[in-house]
Amino acid sequence: MPTATQMVVHLLRSFEHSLVTNAGLGANLTEEGRVECEITIVCGRTNLVGCCGTVSGVKEPSALALKLLEQAEKVNDGSDLSGKFVFGRQPPLVIAGKYYQVTTRTREHWEKWHRRFQEAVKIQTEGEEDEQLDTVGSVCMDSIGSVAAALSSGGVAYKVPGRMGLAGCPRMGCNAANAVAMMNRKRKRKRIK
């Protein structure tokens, strides 16, 4: 039976492979034309967090955050890791090429914004609709009542490289405790009690 943490990551992986979300494949590009993802996973049972920000070249950023959380759980359980965190290239941490997550649509979107910033032209964008959905998140409860929350994002379009939003900050974009789980997408807050 999967845990709540495993379930939230499973859900995020499907979003990270979708071309209509701003997480993983097809996410917003930085000023330099790269994808930099951020993600947080919170386990309500253990109160531990796995998070990372400005991640490039990882096919599924949620898998990286899950590995960090699993390593923290091993340390928390008192397992002997000899003070080392061993990650290496192991499934599901598939290293992707520099432009793997850059799609034709996101590259065109980046080029549009790059031209606008380079020309320093004020363009009225009122009425334009962006077809891409925003940051993705999930909240799950497993069969024993443990909850988990996770949030994944590619950040804002044309962001400064290294800029990290709430999705990569522990307990700011999402949080979980066995009584409550929550994820926050910009100004919209979803809370489950």
- Number of Cβ within a 10 Å radius of residue 62: 31
Closest to 12 in 3D by CA, of 154, 189, 121: 154
* Whether 62 contacts 16, CB under 8 Å: yes
Helix (H) or strand (E) holding 58: none
The single residue listed with the structure tokens 């039976």 is 1
CA 61-22-108 angle, 5° bins:
115
135 belongs to the catalytic site: yes
Q: Which of 5, 21, 106, 135 is catalytic?
A: 135
Active site residues: 135
